[in-house]
Structure 1
């Protein structure tokens, strides 16, 4: 910082400026700082911000926040992908200082003689402003200068024109003693980095043929999986995430339900990557060819789906790296290579990489692999267990990839300690899995979401009610209503959410003693009868499609920072809203956490958070039922888990009062001659044509 005034606690700044803050194109980014000065003269603050092209953006003045806190606020809106830079400046504002002093002296009744110096000082300040204001306003400023110096005019007329310039000189201030703060950076992603709806399926299960007595099971392929794309698109998803598509190791392959021994026809876990057919840059031959994969990506794009790929940096024992680069792994005392463990769990089919052995060689190979898939059209990677690899490696890899293609996004699949999850967001991961699945009460969810909003400068949540590894007991025992409840919470609290295939079919049977599915798809083929479930009304797909349609149609739901909670007097219910100041779009959601009983509640809405004054009323439209209600600050709600476990309201604002219709043009005044006027004005009869009293201009 260089200059006269202190500038402190600038936001957004991540890890003391070590890493860039995050935003997306078009997002409103709040900027704030604490700045103050000695004495009573006025201080002003502004943000200087530069785009990725290095060009300065429009002057952005900051407004003071809560009185007495010396906190200043502004918003900026980046419009391009790349690194943006911003600096907070503080300055002495002589016009505001003059305005404050003159206003108080006038109120105290001081006259022209006592204000002589103030009038001269005001003229000096406005003369300096002539070099700053737009050309169209120059005449106003010159007139104000002349008025201040006009000794023949009364005092209000001398001062008034200068005071009227306050809005102009707020936007184009005279700045003295300018202090420049430190420069900070914001990495701006494409909009999908913040707003996205993910769907996960295993291509090998789509079109698969189960084993029979006479024939082994047959894997689905990229070609057969094409048939599932329209169904995914119809539910409104825009990201299709595929588990690893690489060859699967045969050594120590796991059998169904994570059995230690696999049969000759068992397909194994896709996360046990690598076999004789190749490693991380290869495609499993059962799925098809590279050409089939390219066709699959193109067909998905035609359905509005972007394919996301799994990046799991681990190897099966028969991965080519194991023989070509044994130094990349950990060797145990008996000379064997260490397999993955999370005691008491053992993963004999996976060898973790040791990044401390030949780090340069490992980095170069992984960068090559990632850029290979970028070249194949992949722009999103879901990264498996990133918290088990070095942070400096991820920081290096992510930004090396973005140098090649800044549109590439990375989702961190890390369910671990909060500091580590937040740290992954800070070093560059675009999105993060969260603890959403384990927040099962309204109070827990409200507290957790408040924590995520506070971290919005660097960590973007992605809420998943289920994954192939996670089938929470609330879904195991909550029945179909709980599937609706968790979908509403995931889709409408977070701007990004996702679900794993089978959720829409209410799959809920867990492996005994585990929080995962029985007959887990990780270890076996699992074809599903999607069409039959839809025809028989056993599918949640229409409800999911409605949620994603509501998300898509309401800009307020595309953001995280605007999440606001409202009080409700029933602890089984959660009430929240999102408001978009640009469009005025507002969504209010009331959701039950009880999948078994009817719940009543009374809301107390924070009306200013919705863009209303405290006394106003408005109409809410329930997007799930089509019903309209008249609402205000306090409202009663009833939620039935089987009929409607949530209200999803869009707010319909009252139309502004209609302008009164203009009166029709008045007819021309009649041409009266002397003959038309009665001779005796005291008692004669007024002419009937033309009658002056019928002229609309005379109507009361």
Structure 2
């Protein structure tokens, strides 16, 4: 054991000789500082720490924030966080992308110590003689502040000093100028800081706002071709661009495309994943590569690279952007297989191992073995990404990242961000929690989640709280469906369940997604017990007549459009950290809220989780989440129906899933509210 009486031993253990005050449990910090915490431009980022010292003297703390250019900003004073003793909190708002740092500076607060001591001694009946030293200490402290004040405040502070030293005045008159609220406010803002103790610097990577907030729409360009004589024809980037105005009108921000590369012909799958394809079967887009090229090429039937760039440009013109699938695997006839067979796993019989996820088999896909020639694989993957970045893509949805090494992703993502800090990465990682969270820690911007399988109130509340508590590094993307996932709730819940799940996804998560066909209530599985669609678009063209569906009234387009309009109108819905759940006495009803510290916007949602029967219940709102006291009343306006109500803590709710399965309330308050800062 080191000799703790020896200062050198203490320094050797802590690496610091100036840790005079206690600072622990600093947040946001990821894996003890091994990785960056995350935020976006304009987001109110809560910074917390436990600050304490020996004895009874007052302590205080500041946050020192340094921008990506290394310029420190003004000190941000931390406030006591009343729910926990010795816990302090401040909110900072980064205004640009890049690598920020912050540190906590704790300090002894002699002015607050003096103020408290004088008040309690006067209350205890002590007189001027007993308080002589206290009065002089106060005078000297205020003199220090006055020395740096402007002329007006210098005169006022000097008057307080003179009064403290004037033995000819009564005690109340001597202390009154120094204890005046306006003077105390000034002293709070211009403190005397002693025994300043600083933490190490902690890193926060700040992304553009799209990293936190956005509405995604996924569709296959190849399914946008015309139907000729009852037969679907292969779509192109040009026909896909014709679909973009309708997507924009629904209020989506991101158009996500599955792989657009040449599709392998060797072991190509047929419709519904059969092993016996017909000559005109199009195969799976995730079976990447053929004689026409690999990951840096486009499928010839979709068009050319110039056509793709035009598609990207058209998306931008409509106020959206493209997210492109990045799937690191190869079809048997991918150029990599011939040029770099060492990049794959060879079986004892000499064949290359194809992908398997029992009972599923993917004979048309070879996984890349990242332990074989990592230097070459890493360089090629980075080159491929640059091709699409140069083509205008700034978002990549990464297929199955949990099947590739974590150190590869850590290197690749941050190598890209060094030169392209606005590029975002979404992890499609339906995997164990430890891997999903570690992918977020090492650099992924967003992650798919377990939302699809959370259908009951308890599990939705538990999962929502868990995501809000990890918002400093993991951002969710709630997809209501995917080409791989048609949940049983949608198979059997009827059209009301499609509305319910859309409300939950779009209101709970700042980012949510819809796979094309959801707005048409597509719900038929390939077989009982499966989450695969019948006639899945992964293996065949699937043209859709959206116009006919809307004309017949069997379309969710108006509802999705309204949800996205509400999301854009309310900054509260673009937040994750402020998600709060409220008690309601019916387990089939879910009640939650979000607030936006920057705009004082607040939204309260009550939604039924049962799609066949009317539900009634009574809320027991936590009004403190809105900065209100338990007895206060306020007005709520339903953004879906336009109806307004007078609400308080307890409110009767009745929801009919066939009429309207949810209330999405915006809140109006009888007085201005000072919002509590977001709590991690």
The reply to whether TM is greater than 0.5 is yes
Aligned match of 2:377: 362
Aligned match of 1:483: 498
**Aligned equivalent of 1:209, options 227, 232, 238:** 227
Cα distance change, pair 134–319 in 1 and its aligned pair in 2 (3 A)? farther
- Once the two structures are TM-superposed, the CA of residue 656 in structure 1 deviates from its matched residue by 7.1
- Once the two structures are TM-superposed, the CA of residue 110 in structure 1 deviates from its matched residue by 1.8
Contact kept in structure 2, 1:465 and 1:499, CA below 8 Å: yes
**Aligned equivalent of 1:508, options 518, 523, 528:** 523
Structure-2 separation of matches of 1:282 and 1:439: 38
Which secondary structure state, in structure 1, belongs to the residue aligned with residue 227 of structure 2?
coil
Which secondary structure state, in structure 2, belongs to the residue aligned with residue 568 of structure 1?
coil
Query: Is 123-132 or 459-468 further displaced after alignment?
Result: 123-132
Contact kept in structure 1, 2:225 and 2:232, CA below 8 Å: no
Query: Is 616-625 or 105-114 further displaced after alignment?
Result: 105-114
Give a deviation string over 1:631-669, Cα, whole Å, max 9, x none.
111000110010011111111223679xxxxxxxxxxxx
Gap regions ≥5 residues in structure 1: 658-700
Aligned match of 2:209: 191
Give the 5 Å matches for 1:428-577.
Answer: 428-513=443-528, 514-577=530-593
Contact kept in structure 1, 2:499 and 2:661, CA below 8 Å: yes
1:252 aligns with 2:279: no
- Once the two structures are TM-superposed, the CA of residue 163 in structure 1 deviates from its matched residue by 1.8
Contact kept in structure 2, 1:3 and 1:177, CA below 8 Å: no
Give a deviation string over 1:127-176, Cα, whole Å, max 9, x none.
22235556653222222222222222322222122223222222221111
Aligned match of 1:629: 645
**Aligned equivalent of 1:108, options 88, 105, 124:** 124
- Once the two structures are TM-superposed, the CA of residue 244 in structure 1 deviates from its matched residue by 0.3
Question: What is the TM-score normalised by the length of structure 2?
Answer: 0.94
1:327 aligns with 2:345: no
Query: Is 167-176 or 221-230 further displaced after alignment?
Result: 167-176
Give a deviation string over 1:333-362, Cα, whole Å, max 9, x none.
011111111122110000010000010110
Cα distance change, pair 638–175 in 1 and its aligned pair in 2 (3 A)? same
Which secondary structure state, in structure 2, belongs to the residue aligned with residue 456 of structure 1?
coil
Structure-2 separation of matches of 1:593 and 1:218: 40
Structure-2 separation of matches of 1:654 and 1:34: 35
Aligned match of 2:324: 309
Aligned match of 2:188: 170
- Once the two structures are TM-superposed, the CA of residue 217 in structure 1 deviates from its matched residue by 4.8
Which secondary structure state, in structure 2, belongs to the residue aligned with residue 7 of structure 1?
strand
Give a deviation string over 1:372-399, Cα, whole Å, max 9, x none.
1111110000000000000000010000
Aligned match of 2:81: 65
**Aligned equivalent of 1:272, options 274, 279, 287:** 287
**Aligned equivalent of 1:391, options 362, 381, 406:** 406
Count of residues in Structure 1 that have an aligned counterpart in Structure 2: 654
**Aligned equivalent of 1:159, options 175, 184, 195:** 175
Query: Is 466-475 or 225-234 further displaced after alignment?
Result: 225-234
Structure showing greater Rg: 1
1:597 aligns with 2:584: no
Which secondary structure state, in structure 2, belongs to the residue aligned with residue 576 of structure 1?
strand
1:648 aligns with 2:669: no
Q: How large is the Cα RMSD of the aligned pairs?
A: 1.5
- Once the two structures are TM-superposed, the CA of residue 15 in structure 1 deviates from its matched residue by 0.5
- Once the two structures are TM-superposed, the CA of residue 210 in structure 1 deviates from its matched residue by 6.2
Contact kept in structure 1, 2:232 and 2:543, CA below 8 Å: no
Query: Is 568-577 or 174-183 further displaced after alignment?
Result: 174-183
Contact kept in structure 2, 1:132 and 1:173, CA below 8 Å: no
Which secondary structure state, in structure 1, belongs to the residue aligned with residue 591 of structure 2?
strand
- Once the two structures are TM-superposed, the CA of residue 102 in structure 1 deviates from its matched residue by 0.6
Cα distance change, pair 408–634 in 1 and its aligned pair in 2 (3 A)? same
1:585 aligns with 2:581: no
Cα distance change, pair 330–134 in 1 and its aligned pair in 2 (3 A)? farther
Structure-1 separation of matches of 2:540 and 2:95: 46
Structure-1 separation of matches of 2:100 and 2:613: 51
**Aligned equivalent of 1:373, options 379, 382, 388:** 388
Question: What is the TM-score normalised by the length of structure 1?
Answer: 0.92
Structure-2 separation of matches of 1:234 and 1:185: 39
Structure-2 separation of matches of 1:67 and 1:471: 42
Aligned match of 1:78: 94
List structure 1 segments (4+ residues) > 4 angstroms apart after TM superposition.
131-136
Query: Is 329-338 or 121-130 further displaced after alignment?
Result: 121-130
Which secondary structure state, in structure 2, belongs to the residue aligned with residue 614 of structure 1?
coil
Give a deviation string over 1:83-106, Cα, whole Å, max 9, x none.
110111111111111111111111
Which secondary structure state, in structure 1, belongs to the residue aligned with residue 407 of structure 2?
helix
Cα distance change, pair 400–131 in 1 and its aligned pair in 2 (3 A)? farther
1:227 aligns with 2:245: no
**Aligned equivalent of 2:428, options 404, 409, 413:** 413
Structure-1 separation of matches of 2:83 and 2:477: 37
Cα distance change, pair 629–324 in 1 and its aligned pair in 2 (3 A)? same
Give a deviation string over 1:557-602, Cα, whole Å, max 9, x none.
1100111111000000000111223322111110001000000010
Aligned match of 2:134: 118
1:400 aligns with 2:415: yes
Which secondary structure state, in structure 2, belongs to the residue aligned with residue 8 of structure 1?
strand
- Once the two structures are TM-superposed, the CA of residue 28 in structure 1 deviates from its matched residue by 0.8
1:139 aligns with 2:155: yes
- Once the two structures are TM-superposed, the CA of residue 611 in structure 1 deviates from its matched residue by 2.4
- Once the two structures are TM-superposed, the CA of residue 547 in structure 1 deviates from its matched residue by 0.4
Which secondary structure state, in structure 2, belongs to the residue aligned with residue 548 of structure 1?
helix
Aligned match of 1:677: none
Structure-2 separation of matches of 1:343 and 1:511: 18
Aligned match of 2:69: 53
- Once the two structures are TM-superposed, the CA of residue 77 in structure 1 deviates from its matched residue by 0.9
**Aligned equivalent of 1:149, options 151, 165, 178:** 165
Gap regions ≥5 residues in structure 2: 1-15, 674-680
Structure-2 separation of matches of 1:102 and 1:68: 26
Structure-2 separation of matches of 1:455 and 1:247: 38
**Aligned equivalent of 2:306, options 279, 282, 291:** 291
